[in-house]
A and B are shown apart, each in its own frame.
Chain A
Amino acid sequence: MNRYTLINRHKDLIANPNPRIPICLCLDTSSSMGGAPIASLNSGVQLFYDTIKQDLIASGVAEIAVVTFGAGGVRCHTDFAGVESVPHAPQFHAGGNTPMGEAVNLALDKLTERRKDYCRSGVEYYKPWLILMTDGQNNGSMKEYKRAQQRVADLCAGGNLDFLPIGIGAGADMAGLAGFSSRHKPYKLNGLHFREFFSWLSRSVSRVSCSMPGQECALSALPTSDWSTL
């Protein structure tokens, strides 16, 4: 016998979409990333996707886009999508230059577009994330680079973006990365520990997706002391 209930879950309740976290990975796939670095990056990004998929809450909340700069110039590898609809991370190949400014601008454009999509369709969302990973210096347009730095700085200052700049290896331009936001210091990735980094990132996604109004999301303890709360 069906249980009688004043409110019937299937007939009376409204199926609102989950709030979303738009996350854009902006990744350096230039020729200097060839060999072990690009293999580790591929493995790390796949781990990120796999870990999010296994988290019941985060899998319904995280939407991931991937912008790369390197082989083929700047391209949006994957537009925003949940891990349910894009279960496998894209695979990257190293090559080309490092047009970082153009890539960050494209990533910001994608995030802006996504926020507008959410507003249009009445979907709630958390603060967008932009994760920038590079092992070198910008050698694209300096004008675009400066513009990207200013846009990121303005968004971060207004509390409208969480920005995570990561320098990979000895050749990473840490000073340039620091120029994007005074609030978000760049971090040096230890060795090629992409998997550890993306594992931490997926835990951060889980925390934010469980957060309630007024709740600060603290990160778990990390190998370096420079990590801060999102």
Chain B
Amino acid sequence: MKTEMQWDILQSAVTGCGHEWQGLPCQDRTAALSEGDCHVISLADGAGSARLSHEGAECVAQSMCRYLCREFDRLYETPHADSVRAEVMALLHRRLGALAVELDCSMQELASTLLVAAVKGGRYILLHLGDGLIAFRRYGRMLPASLPVNGEYANCTVFTTSTLSGRDMRLIKGELGDIEGFALMSDGSCASLFDKAEKAPAPVLGWLMDLCTYLPAHLVECGLQESMENEVRMVTEDDCSLAILARRQPDFCGLATLSRAVLMRLIGLPATSPQSRRRLRVYLRILAALARPRHLRSVQQEVHQKRSHLLKKLVFLLRCRLVEKLPDGRYVTRARL
């Protein structure tokens, strides 16, 4: 019996240090839409020179999500990619044209790049215009699906409003098979999440996909947002954005079945310390005890920990979002046990 695929979506877009200093808004936008068994993520990076490119990026990201959800089957069955390119460009120019009228600007002021990944019924469609990267995961390994479409020089690329951009649009489709997920990232994120010499996406993208199996996606997304703000955007001047479409592992049987290394990483324990193994067993007992919401005292009795020690461990687990503290003071595990 075929197990229906379950998908989770993560998205984050943060303002670059360069834009912050200049008082400019974040020009990167992400969008996502799920309808039935169709799931779409999109990402658009507004052109630096275009005054209202953040508006254009929002427009194209949202438009493409709706369009792919509505037309996935027909587009997938279309044999010639050029006709799909023409149709997509016409749609984008119609939307951007209407927005330009509304905002009283030229279409060029709404320019952005565009990346899209859509899945439905065991198939996928990818679309890429401009820089940034589309990556995918297969057999636990992150691989590039579509490399940046740049000019030769670092500050040149193709935009939605470029005259010949239809020709520069990459379209990829196929059967999902063993593909475990897709990641879209803007040029700013590529600075640290894509090895440009090796042409290899960073393995941590696969870790983010795994987390969607172990934890509810909205909690992973909070952690991702924090990491993008405090880590990823610190190594570049540019805005950074990332959208992930991750397939939940169908054979996952609970946290206790994960390897020690994965559990250590999940809780944020140093892998090599021998005390960590002992601590890990205690953490797993605490997580199991909190399968339903409980107060501190009740958990303390079950796991045989001093109150102060238990509190410290709960702080650890709260920090990595494996546990949540409810408004009534009870704690509950959020990890999928």
Interface of A with B (CB < 8 Å)?
Answer: 2-9, 12-17, 19, 57, 121-127, 160, 208, 210-216
In the complex, the answer to whether B208 meets A6 with C-beta atoms within 8 Å is yes
In the complex, the answer to whether A208 meets B155 with C-beta atoms within 8 Å is yes
In the complex the two chains form, what is the Cα distance from A190 to B261 in whole Å?
68
**What is the total of A-B residue contacts with beta carbons within 8 Å?**
113
In the complex the two chains form, what is the Cα distance from A122 to B47 in whole Å?
23
Q: Provide the residues of chain B in CB contact with A123, threshold 8 Å.
A: 196-197
In the complex, the answer to whether B154 meets A5 with C-beta atoms within 8 Å is no
In the complex the two chains form, what is the Cα distance from A15 to B230 in whole Å?
16
Interface of B with A (CB < 8 Å)?
Answer: 18, 45, 47-50, 111, 113, 130-131, 150, 152-157, 159, 187, 191-199, 202-204, 207-208, 211, 220, 223-224, 226-228, 230-232, 234-235, 237-238, 268, 316, 319-320
In the complex the two chains form, what is the Cα distance from A121 to B196 in whole Å?
9
Q: Provide the residues of chain B in CB contact with A57, threshold 8 Å.
A: 237
Q: Provide the residues of chain B in CB contact with A127, threshold 8 Å.
A: 153
Q: A13-B202, A122-B196, A215-B48 are in contact. Are A8 and B155 (CB under 8 A)?
A: no
Q: Provide the residues of chain A in CB contact with B203, threshold 8 Å.
A: 12
- Other A-B contacts than A214-B157, A214-B159, 10 sampled, CB-CB below 8 A, are A7-B204, A7-B208, A17-B196, A57-B237, A127-B153, A210-B18, A212-B237, A212-B238, A213-B157, A214-B49
In the complex, the answer to whether B231 meets A9 with C-beta atoms within 8 Å is yes
In the complex, the answer to whether A12 meets B197 with C-beta atoms within 8 Å is no
In the complex, the answer to whether B48 meets A124 with C-beta atoms within 8 Å is no
Q: A6-B220, A14-B193 are in contact. Are A211 and B231 (CB under 8 A)?
A: no
- How far does the Cβ of A156 sit from chain B's closest Cβ, in whole Å? 14
In the complex, the answer to whether B195 meets A14 with C-beta atoms within 8 Å is yes
Q: 17 A-B residue contacts at CB 8 Å? A: A2-B268, A6-B223, A6-B224, A7-B227, A7-B228, A7-B232, A13-B232, A14-B195, A16-B197, A17-B196, A121-B197, A126-B155, A212-B49, A212-B187, A212-B237, A213-B155, A214-B157
In the complex, the answer to whether B204 meets A124 with C-beta atoms within 8 Å is no
- How far does the Cβ of B175 sit from chain A's closest Cβ, in whole Å? 30
- How far does the Cβ of A91 sit from chain B's closest Cβ, in whole Å? 32
In the complex the two chains form, what is the Cα distance from A161 to B207 in whole Å?
42
In the complex the two chains form, what is the Cα distance from A121 to B195 in whole Å?
11
In the complex the two chains form, what is the Cα distance from A152 to B50 in whole Å?
31
In the complex, the answer to whether B232 meets A125 with C-beta atoms within 8 Å is no
In the complex, the answer to whether B232 meets A19 with C-beta atoms within 8 Å is no
Q: Provide the residues of chain A in CB contact with B113, threshold 8 Å.
A: 213
In the complex the two chains form, what is the Cα distance from A14 to B223 in whole Å?
19
Q: Provide the residues of chain A in CB contact with B131, threshold 8 Å.
A: 213
Q: Provide the residues of chain A in CB contact with B157, threshold 8 Å.
A: 213-214
In the complex, the answer to whether A214 meets B50 with C-beta atoms within 8 Å is yes
Q: Provide the residues of chain A in CB contact with B316, threshold 8 Å.
A: 4
* Residue of B with least CB distance to A217: B155
In the complex, the answer to whether B202 meets A5 with C-beta atoms within 8 Å is no
Q: A6-B224, A210-B237 are in contact. Are A16 and B208 (CB under 8 A)?
A: no
In the complex, the answer to whether B319 meets A4 with C-beta atoms within 8 Å is yes
The 8 Å CB contact of B226, one of A5, A15, A125, is: A5
In the complex, the answer to whether A213 meets B156 with C-beta atoms within 8 Å is yes
- How far does the Cβ of A13 sit from chain B's closest Cβ, in whole Å? 4
Q: Provide the residues of chain B in CB contact with A7, threshold 8 Å.
A: 204, 208, 224, 227-228, 231-232
* Residue of B with least CB distance to A12: B204
Q: Identify the interface centre among B154, B192, B234: most chain A CB within 10 Å of its CB.
A: B154
Q: Provide the residues of chain B in CB contact with A4, threshold 8 Å.
A: 268, 316, 319-320
In the complex, the answer to whether A6 meets B195 with C-beta atoms within 8 Å is no
In the complex the two chains form, what is the Cα distance from A199 to B230 in whole Å?
35
In the complex, the answer to whether A124 meets B232 with C-beta atoms within 8 Å is no
* Residue of A with least CB distance to B50: A214
In the complex, the answer to whether A214 meets B47 with C-beta atoms within 8 Å is yes
Q: Provide the residues of chain A in CB contact with B220, threshold 8 Å.
A: 6
Q: Provide the residues of chain B in CB contact with A14, threshold 8 Å.
A: 192-195, 202
